[in-house]
Amino acid sequence: MSEQQSHGLHHEHDLAPGDEEEFRIGPRLLGYSIGLALSVLLTATSFFIAGTDLVWQPSIPVALCVLAIAQMGVHLVFFLHITTGPDNTNNVMALAFGLLIVFLVVGGSLWIMDHLNANMATMDQIMNMQH
């Protein structure tokens, strides 16, 4: 068995949709079409949940978060072709680093907003500064 054949068989089990046939347009178009359909479905579901009274009101934010995470998963797999294969190690590391940065920015912003009132000067202090 040649090196190319063994290489192809080794990674055959971990292919993202659209990566099956690198030079054929049909399977790639099918993968992108499935991803688009799932994205549209998840987006429409999010709008439906946010605008209806059929869902228990306190659960709406949780449902929207779950749908947003599902939407990110669809984009990562169907459009960015990020899988867990050995060839995608750098992609997964870049994704993990990006998520770390997002969590630091969002967490830092929430922490600053939470402590904003405690660090603000009172109206009396502000008036004394102006004189």
Q: Stretch 4-31: mean pLDDT, rounded? A: 62
Check pLDDT > 70 for residue 73. yes
Could you give the percent of the chain with pLDDT greater than 90? Answer: 34
Domain count across the chain: 1
Q: Stretch 116-131: mean pLDDT, rounded? A: 79
Q: Are 35 and 78 in contact (CB under 8 A)?
A: yes
The residue range of the domain holding 79 is: 3-130
Give the amino acid at 46: S
This prediction's pTM: 0.59
Per residue in 24-45, pLDDT (tens digit) is 778 888 989 999 999 999 999 9
Q: How far apart are CA 66 and CA 96, in angstroms?
A: 19
Nearest of 72, 65, 84 to residue 19 by alpha carbon: 84
Q: What is the pLDDT of residue 2?
A: 46
- Look over the chain and give the mean of its residue pLDDT values, rounded to a whole number: 81
| Displacement of CA 71 from its chain's centroid (Å) | 7
Per residue in 58-72, pLDDT (tens digit) is 999 999 999 999 998
